């Protein structure tokens, strides 16, 4: 736009101004008297009149300056001498102060009062350069005033009143009057500044991002669940939805800031909502031309001015709960603890007893002999030896104290004598002599074999009431009755028997006194425990927790960890540990149960740790593909729940309500390119709004989702078999309706890879049957062939092999053909479900190529139908989707290592926008100016002002356009099905034209 030159510094007759202001200012009434008081001198009378007229001049100057500053607001100071007078942080206020000074100085030139031969004039120093301008700014202060701060208070310091008598200066007086005028310049500037701040606030503060999030979430979840349910929705969140949400959010921020929104913007939002609904219906919109064609065919007419609300649907919201169960984790843990060697070891520990010898030695009499006598006084003792021998001489009776936690298995007592023969060697010169002394000590020795049952078993140490009763076992086993002979054999018999054991106690040569012995286990124990664990597995499998869907999608909650805590809460009831064991078999069963529960807990913790790793990788994916993060995504989820006021109260001034009115260009910030022929505020061709919308896990998501789920997966050019199978199904469905040589070729290539992957899987199944049963290789092949025969096509067979249906049927066939027991069938089924191999991954190239061809055929057919048959035919084709709705999308939580309990997808949206012109006006309301309004407008034009009264306007700064940037993320979570949720149009990133430069 052209520069605005200030040309309102002309003179206004003060007689007229005085009359008008008399009506509106009761505070000035005492100064306007027709005759001076008798005591007043001519000087005092003239000064009083000059002071009153100075206030009138100030009121007029401040009011005029306020309107002019609002109409031409300086937001960014210019790099010019006048512009450098303005501070960057207070540019608008400083420009208002300068305008007020210049207007007041101009008005004061007309102030001249007379009383007799005395005249009084009012003046402010003239401005001739930047230094004068800076001094002038410092003389003026402005602030909002009034009960609701709708008025403007201004003070000008040191206005000089000069008194002359007969033209000769006799005195001067400095006054610093303050006036309050009903001007809303500062109020409007503060409101617009607040508005722009809120537009640029992040998700952690009220503003555009939060309101945009609140609008996108229900839109994305409704469309996401509709797509999940089979509706023909190609893009869950497209840029047209982003545009709609952004403009609705802009109006919401306007209401909360100004008390109302732009009426033209509300009407435009209604029209855009209707157009977006039609685009969604007809599946259009990969480009502006196509969108226009859709609308032309639909013969769209704007409807009401009230944007329609979304119809209530059965789809859940982010705060709704979802149920997550242990499910397949129960099988995974079961396989690990029921491996024959593992389960046998667990059961064996329950039948294993720690045994030890406890002995009591009591001397009945006797003892070592004294020193043998010397041959004479001349003899010297040179050696003294005392060998001993022990001998059991009879039975005895006695007892041994049993340590805490142990019990006596067998006790026996013996009388043992210890023979001492002491020999002394004496020397006298070359002669040596020996003398001896003998004695006997008698001991009562009591030996107890003690045992305790806990050992290494995970089962708690409890009393086994029938531990050594061979007839008390529920499985007709020996219970622990054979522990006694085994313990005696290990600790006593190996020491030489009871007599020798007693003798060893006396001569301290007993040796080994601790051991473990394992009682014989009933033959039925293994199967009995296995069947019991099968029942426990069912109970554990059915353990569920409820978690908030949105928090799952933003990785704020960890379902496996919550499940682990839930299993821990149920642990006592699931383990069913009695206060005392009825039998050793019961203890073994408890040990197996606790071992299984420990395995479930460990498996869930491993899954929880894997989810933590996935969270880190998703964060990395978000950072790599967008400017967002999981932390920001969580902020968005929280922000949509934060209550924000719909509008603010209308402020009331002493003169009445101050109502604002908003006028924007463009009223609806469209993603399309506009030009100045439509909006004069535009400068050439511009993009009022630009958007970048990234769907993180798009179809068939081989790159992003695999990077998250597989972590360090080598060979990133592969996708999971389920992904390829669903893509192949989409291609076949499309080819049933439409012919395409390109799609057929892509389909054939992918079909070969899926067949090969199926072949590898079936080979693994045959080998597993052969290894685990007595079936020969050929018989195993027949079993697998019959088991998978229900799924004839490659895609159906691949889907069955990946979701476990095929393995379950193969196990049933094997059980019937091989007459397997219930336990054998169960073990085989679990083994088959664990089969996996890297060779079952088709290539990403073939999968993506087929998916792209499916989308191309569907889109071409839709365009053709729209051109040939109009909207009705296009809607029909869109509803059928030509197989594109089968294309998988989203991030499965959390295969391949853990059960699949949900699919999540994330959209990260960034918008940048700029109003070509943003204007807000407010009513003045004073009686002297009924209907007057102050308009604050920012359109990017240069603001000029003749500051030195030389007839040339100098540039003060720029009335910057109102612009913004907002980011938000949306996470949608759906149940685990192959279709998933996500954009299936083939573009992970949708950028509007003009991105990233709005307003250019």
Question: Can you tell me the mean pLDDT for 431-457?
Answer: 91
- Helix, coil or strand: residue 703: coil
What are the counts of helices (DSSP H) followed by strands (DSSP E) for the chain?
27, 30
Q: Does the pLDDT value for residue 680 go beyond 90?
A: no
Given a cut of 60, is residue 570 above it in pLDDT? yes
Q: Do residues 445 and 502 touch, judged by C-beta distance below 8 A?
A: yes
Residue 949: per-residue pLDDT:
87
Nearest Cα to Cα of residue 191 among 913, 934, 942: 934
The pLDDT confidence band at residue 6, using thresholds 50, 70 and 90, is: very low
Q: In angstroms, how far is CA 862 from the centroid of its own chain?
A: 37
Confidence tier at 854 by pLDDT (50, 70, 90):
confident
**Residues in Cβ contact with 642 at an 8 Å cutoff, skipping those fewer than 6 apart:** 206, 210
* CA–CA separation, 359 and 411 (whole Å): 9
Q: Which residues neighbour 739 within 8 Å (Cβ) at sequence distance 6 or greater?
A: none
**Helix then strand then coil, % of the chain, to nearest 5:** 45, 20, 35
Does the pLDDT at position 510 exceed 50?
Answer: yes
pLDDT number for residue 8: 41
Q: Are 465 and 582 in contact (CB under 8 A)?
A: yes
Do 206 and 953 touch, CB atoms closer than 8 A?
no
Question: What is residue 42's predicted lDDT score, i.e. its pLDDT?
Answer: 86
pLDDT in tens, 747-780: 999 999 999 999 999 999 999 999 999 899 999 9
**Residue range 621-625: mean pLDDT, rounded:** 84
Of 473-487, 634-648, 872-886, the least confident: 872-886
DSSP symbols for 259-276: SS--HHHHHHHHHHHHHH
Residues 251/269, Cβ–Cβ less than 8 Å = yes
Band (pLDDT 50/70/90 cuts) for residue 590 is very high
State how far the Cα of 836 lies from the Cα of 839, in Å rounded to an integer.
Answer: 9
Q: What is the pLDDT of residue 721?
A: 85
pLDDT over 70 for what percent of the chain?
Answer: 83
> Do 451 and 353 meet the contact criterion of CB atoms below 8 Å apart?
yes
Range of weakest confidence among 137-146, 198-207, 306-315, 663-672: 306-315
Please check the confidence at residue 705 and state whether its pLDDT lies above 70.
no
Q: Which residues of 852-880 are buried (b: 16+ CB within 10 A; e: fewer)?
A: bbbbbbbbebbbebbeeeebebbbebbeb
- 991 Cβ contact list (under 8 Å, min separation 6): 239, 690, 691, 692, 693
Q: What is the pLDDT of residues 888-947, one digit of tens each?
A: 788 888 655 566 788 899 999 999 999 999 999 988 655 556 667 889 999 999 999 999
The 8-class DSSP code of residue 889 comes to B
**Positive or negative CA dihedral for 578, 580, 581, 582?**
negative
Q: Which residue has the higher pLDDT, 859 or 338?
A: 338
Q: pLDDT band for 229, please (50, 70, 90 cuts).
A: confident
Q: What is the pTM of this model?
A: 0.80
Q: What is the DSSP string of 918-961?
A: EEEEEE---TTSTT-EEEEEESS-EEEE-SSSSS-PEEEEE-PP
Look-up of token digits 């934060």: 642
pLDDT of residue 96: 97
Read off the tokens for 988. 């992970």
User: Which residues, including other chains, have CB under 8 Å from residue 926's CB and lie 6 or more apart?
Assistant: 24, 182, 655, 932
Contact 209, 216 (CB under 8 A): no
**Arithmetic mean of pLDDT over the chain:** 84
pLDDT at 307: 35
Average pLDDT for 34-51: 72
Instruction: Provide the pLDDT for residue 663.
Output: 93
pLDDT of amino acid 897: 52
Position 875 scores a pLDDT of: 56
Confidence bin at 71 (pLDDT 50/70/90) = very high
pLDDT higher at 600 or 677: 600
Q: Work out the pLDDT band at 873, boundaries 50, 70, 90.
A: low
pLDDT of residue 407: 87
SS3 at position 713: coil
Choose the weakest-confidence range: 204-213, 249-258, 448-457: 448-457
Q: Examine the pLDDT at 613 and tell me if it is beyond 80.
A: yes
Quick one: pLDDT at residue 292?
36
> pLDDT band for position 432 (50/70/90)?
very high
Q: Is 715 exposed, middle or buried (0-12, 13-18, 19+ CB in 10 A)?
A: exposed
Q: How high is the pLDDT of residue 291?
A: 38
Question: 303: which 2 tokens?
Answer: 């409807």
Distance CA(764)–CA(336), nearest Å, equals 19
Mean pLDDT of 610-624: 86
Name the nearest CA neighbour of 623 among 558, 699, 707, 560: 707
Q: Strand ranges (DSSP E) for 622-725?
A: 652-653, 656-657, 660-665, 674-675, 685-686, 689-695
Q: Which two tokens stand for residue 71?
A: 């109409």
The answer for residues whose C-beta is within 8 angstroms of residue 445's C-beta and 6 or more apart is 359, 360, 361, 362, 396, 398, 413, 414, 415, 416, 502, 505, 506
Determine the pLDDT at residue 653: 57
- Runs of H (alpha helix) within 129-207: 130-139, 185-200
Six-digit token pair at 18?
């005085």
pLDDT bracket for residue 655 (50, 70, 90): low
The pLDDT of residue 423 is 95
Give the pLDDT confidence score for residue 604 in this predicted structure.
94
Position 293 confidence tier, pLDDT thresholds 50, 70, 90: very low
CA angle in degrees (0–180, nearest 5) for 694-695-701: 130
Q: Average pLDDT in the 178-183 region?
A: 91
- Residue 920's closest CA among 200, 420, 185, 339? 185
* Model confidence at 146: pLDDT above 90: no
CB-count burial class (<10 Å; 0-12, 13-18, 19+) for 264 = middle
- Predicted local confidence at residue 757, as pLDDT: 92
Of 761, 759, 740, 763, the residue nearest 751 (C-alpha): 759
Residue 666: asked if its preceding bond is cis (omega within 30°), the reply is yes
Given a cut of 90, whether residue 441 has pLDDT beyond it is yes
Closest alpha carbon to 254 in 191, 190, 183: 191
Distance in angstroms (rounded) separating the CA atoms of residues 739 and 857 = 9
CA distance 78 to 402: 98
Q: Is the pLDDT of residue 361 over 70?
A: yes
Q: Which helix (H) or strand (E) holds 24?
A: helix 14-24
Which residue, 895, 890, 906, 899, is CA-closest to 726?
890
Alpha-carbon torsion 819, 823, 825, 828, what sign?
A: negative
Give me the pLDDT at residue 289, please: 33
Sorting pLDDT into bands at 50, 70 and 90, what band is 683?
Answer: low
């Amino acid at each position: 736009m052209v520069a605005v030159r200030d040309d309102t510094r002309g003179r206004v007759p003060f007689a007229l101004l005085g009359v008008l202001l008399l009506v509106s200012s009761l505070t000035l009434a005492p100064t306007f008297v027709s005759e001076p008081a008798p005591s007043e001198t001519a000087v005092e009378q003239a000064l009083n009149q000059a002071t009153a007229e100075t206030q009138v001049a100030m009121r007029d100057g401040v009011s005029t300056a306020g309107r002019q500053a609002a109409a031409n607001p300086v937001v960014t100071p210019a790099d010019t001498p006048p512009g450098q007078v303005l501070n960057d942080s207070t540019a608008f206020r400083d420009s208002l102060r300068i305008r007020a000074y210049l207007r007041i100085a101009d008005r004061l030139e007309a102030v001249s009062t007379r009383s007799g031969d005395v005249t009084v004039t009012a003046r402010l120093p003239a401005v001739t350069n930047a230094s004068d301008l800076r001094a002038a700014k410092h003389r003026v202060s402005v602030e909002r005033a009034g009960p609701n701060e709708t008025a403007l208070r201004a003070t000008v310091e040191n206005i000089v009143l000069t008194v002359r008598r007969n033209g000769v200066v006799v005195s001067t007086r400095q006054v610093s009057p303050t006036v309050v005028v009903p001007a809303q310049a500062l109020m409007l500037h503060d409101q617009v500044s607040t508005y722009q701040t809120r537009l640029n606030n992040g998700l952690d503060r009220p503003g555009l991002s939060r309101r945009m999030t609140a609008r996108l979430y229900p839109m994305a979840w409704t469309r996401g669940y509709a797509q999940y349910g089979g509706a023909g929705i190609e893009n869950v969140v497209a840029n047209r939805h982003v545009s709609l949400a952004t403009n609705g959010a802009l109006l919401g921020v306007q209401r909360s800031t100004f008390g109302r929104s732009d009426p033209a913007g509300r009407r435009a939002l209604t029209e855009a909502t209707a157009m977006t609904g039609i685009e969604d219906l007809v599946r259009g919109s990969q480009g502006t031309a196509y969108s226009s064609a859709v609308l032309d065919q639909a013969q769209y007419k704007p409807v009401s001015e009230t944007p329609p609300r979304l119809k209530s649907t059965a789809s859940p919201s982010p705060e709704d709960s979802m149920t997550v169960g242990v499910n397949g984790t129960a099988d995974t843990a079961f396989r690990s603890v029921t491996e024959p060697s593992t389960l046998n070891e667990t059961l064996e520990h329950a039948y294993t007893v720690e045994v030890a010898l406890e002995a009591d030695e009591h001397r009945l009499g006797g003892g070592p002999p004294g020193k043998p006598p010397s041959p004479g006084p001349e003899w010297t003792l040179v050696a003294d030896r005392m060998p001993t021998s022990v001998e059991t001489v009879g039975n005895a009776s006695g007892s041994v104290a049993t340590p805490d936690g142990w019990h006596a298995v067998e006790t026996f007592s013996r009388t043992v004598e210890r023979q001492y023969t002491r020999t002394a060697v004496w020397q006298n010169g070359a002669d040596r002599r020996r003398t001896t002394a003998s004695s006997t000590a008698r001991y009562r020795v009591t030996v107890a074999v003690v045992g305790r049952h806990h050992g290494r078993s995970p089962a708690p140490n409890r009393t086994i009431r029938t531990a050594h009763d061979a007839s008390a076992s529920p499985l007709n086993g020996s219970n622990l009755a054979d522990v006694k002979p085994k313990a005696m054999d290990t600790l006593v018999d190996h020491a030489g028997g009871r007599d020798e054991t007693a003798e060893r106690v006396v001569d301290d040569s007993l040796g080994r006194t601790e051991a473990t012995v394992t009682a014989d286990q009933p033959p039925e124990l293994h199967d009995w425990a296995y069947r019991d664990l099968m029942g426990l597995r069912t109970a554990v499998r059915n353990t569920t927790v409820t978690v908030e869907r949105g928090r799952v999608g933003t990785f704020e909650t960890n379902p496996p960890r919550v499940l682990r805590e839930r299993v821990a809460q149920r642990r006592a009831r699931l383990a069913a540990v009695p206060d005392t064991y009825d039998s050793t078999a019961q203890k073994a069963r408890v040990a197996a149960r606790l071992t299984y529960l420990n395995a479930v807990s460990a498996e869930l913790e491993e899954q929880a740790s894997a989810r933590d790793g996935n969270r880190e990788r998703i964060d990395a994916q978000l950072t790599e593909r967008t400017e967002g993060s999981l932390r920001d995504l969580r902020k968005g989820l929280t922000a949509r729940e934060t209550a924000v006021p719909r509008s603010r109260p209308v402020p009331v001034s002493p003169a009445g309500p101050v109502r604002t009115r908003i006028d924007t260009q463009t009223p609806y910030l469209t993603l399309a390119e506009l030009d100045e022929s439509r909006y004069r505020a535009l400068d050439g061709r511009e993009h009022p709004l630009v958007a970048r919308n990234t769907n993180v896990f798009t179809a068939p998501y081989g790159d992003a989702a695999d990077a998250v789920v597989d972590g360090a997966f080598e060979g990133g050019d592969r996708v999971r078999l389920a992904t390829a199978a669903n893509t192949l199904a989409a291609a076949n469905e499309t080819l049933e309706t439409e012919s395409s040589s390109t799609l057929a070729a892509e389909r054939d290539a992918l079909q070969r890879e899926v067949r090969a992957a199926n072949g590898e899987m079936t080979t693994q199944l045959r080998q597993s049957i052969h290894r685990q049963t007595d079936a020969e290789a050929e018989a195993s092949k027949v079993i697998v062939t019959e088991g998978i025969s229900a799924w004839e096509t490659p895609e159906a067979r691949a889907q069955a092999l990946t979701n476990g249906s095929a393995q379950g049927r193969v196990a049933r066939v094997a059980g019937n053909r091989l007459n397997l027991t219930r336990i054998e069938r169960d073990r085989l089924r679990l083994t088959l479900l664990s089969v996996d191999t890297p060779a079952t991954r088709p290539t990403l190239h073939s999968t993506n190529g087929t998916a792209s061809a499916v989308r191309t055929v569907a889109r071409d057919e839709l365009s053709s139908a729209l051109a040939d048959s109009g909207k009705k035919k296009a809607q029909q084709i869109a509803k059928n989707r030509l197989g594109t709705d089968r294309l998988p999308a989203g991030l499965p939580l959390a295969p391949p290592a853990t059960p699949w309990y949900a699919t999540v997808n994330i959209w990260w949206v960034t918008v940048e926008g700029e109003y070509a012109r943003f204007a807000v006006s407010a009513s003045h309301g004073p009686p002297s100016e009924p209907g007057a309004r102050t308009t604050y407008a920012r359109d990017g034009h240069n603001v000029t002002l003749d500051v030195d009264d030389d007839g040339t306007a100098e540039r003060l700064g720029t009335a910057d356009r109102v612009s913004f940037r907002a980011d938000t993320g949306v996470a949608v979570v759906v149940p685990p099905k192959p279709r998933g949720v996500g954009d299936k149009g083939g573009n992970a990133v949708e950028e509007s034209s003009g991105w990233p430069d709005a307003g250019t």
